[in-house]
């Protein structure tokens, strides 16, 4: 009986988690009207600082264990927010890239295809990183460094600039 209750609670918790995570990746159809309006700013350097293992070790060495755990949870929560913003931006950029794929200029269509692939990859990295960060919040001793998210976001940003030179979308590269 107890195992059944635990399994039901676990199933509902998992369902709730994935539904909440799905909201990060949802994009409305109106995105193409004004894509810059749907983008959220991501400070990649601040994100890198939050996930830097050396910074974590410095805090671990200079803070009491209780203070370290509290601050590390706050840092990881902020990292989740950055990753959520990056995932939302990737969703918008996938839509933009899909629209630009049919451009008559082959170079523009190729740049759009590369943007779509890179943005989808970023979304997959975010999907993997967010649960790991939540686990690290519960178990503060566990090291998590989702550097692929930061690297992918920078690559997506470069792809947007490249595509923007050929397929202007008002304010998109400035909003990133």
- How confident is the model over 108-124, as a mean pLDDT? 91
Query: In this predicted structure, what is the pLDDT of residue 37?
Result: 73
Supply the mean pLDDT for the chain.
81
Residue of 24, 44, 68 lying closest to 146 (CA atoms): 44
> Which segments of 77-172 are extended strands (E)?
none
pLDDT at 63 over 60: yes
| Banded model confidence at residue 173, pLDDT cuts 50, 70, 90 | low
- CA dist 124 and 91 (Å) reads 11
pLDDT in tens, 21-38: 565 455 555 655 666 677
Listed by start position, the domains of the chain span 2-175
Query: Using CA atoms, how far apart are residues 42 and 167, in angstroms rounded to an integer?
Result: 23
| Mean pLDDT score, 97-110 | 85
Q: Comparing C-alpha atoms, which of 126, 119, 113 is closest to residue 94? A: 119
More confident position, 120 or 29: 120
- pLDDT tier, 118 (very low <50, low <70, confident <90, very high otherwise): very high
Of 49-53, 55-59, 129-133, 170-174, least confident by mean pLDDT is 170-174
Give the pLDDT score at 168.
59
Q: pTM above 0.85? A: no
- DSSP-assigned letters across all residues of 35-59: HHHH-----HHHHHHHH-HHHHHHH
Average pLDDT over residues 31-60: 83
pLDDT in tens, 64-76: 999 999 999 999 9
């Amino acid at each position: 009986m107890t195992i059944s209750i635990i399994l039901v609670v676990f199933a509902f918790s998992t369902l709730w988690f994935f539904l909440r995570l799905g909201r990060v990746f949802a994009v409305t159809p109106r995105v193409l009207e004004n894509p810059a309006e749907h983008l959220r700013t991501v400070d990649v350097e601040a994100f890198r600082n939050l996930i830097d293992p050396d910074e974590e070790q410095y805090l671990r060495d200079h803070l009491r264990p209780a203070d370290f755990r509290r601050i590390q949870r706050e840092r990881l929560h902020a990292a989740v927010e950055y990753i959520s913003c990056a995932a939302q931006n990737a969703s918008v950029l996938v839509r933009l890239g899909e629209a630009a794929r049919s451009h008559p200029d082959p170079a523009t269509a190729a740049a759009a295809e590369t943007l779509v692939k890179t943005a989808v990859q970023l979304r997959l990295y975010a999907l993997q990183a967010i649960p790991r960060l939540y686990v690290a919040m519960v178990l503060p001793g566990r090291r998590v460094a989702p550097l692929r998210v930061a690297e992918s976001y920078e690559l997506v940003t470069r792809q947007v600039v490249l595509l923007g030179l050929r397929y202007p979308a008002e304010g998109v590269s400035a909003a990133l």
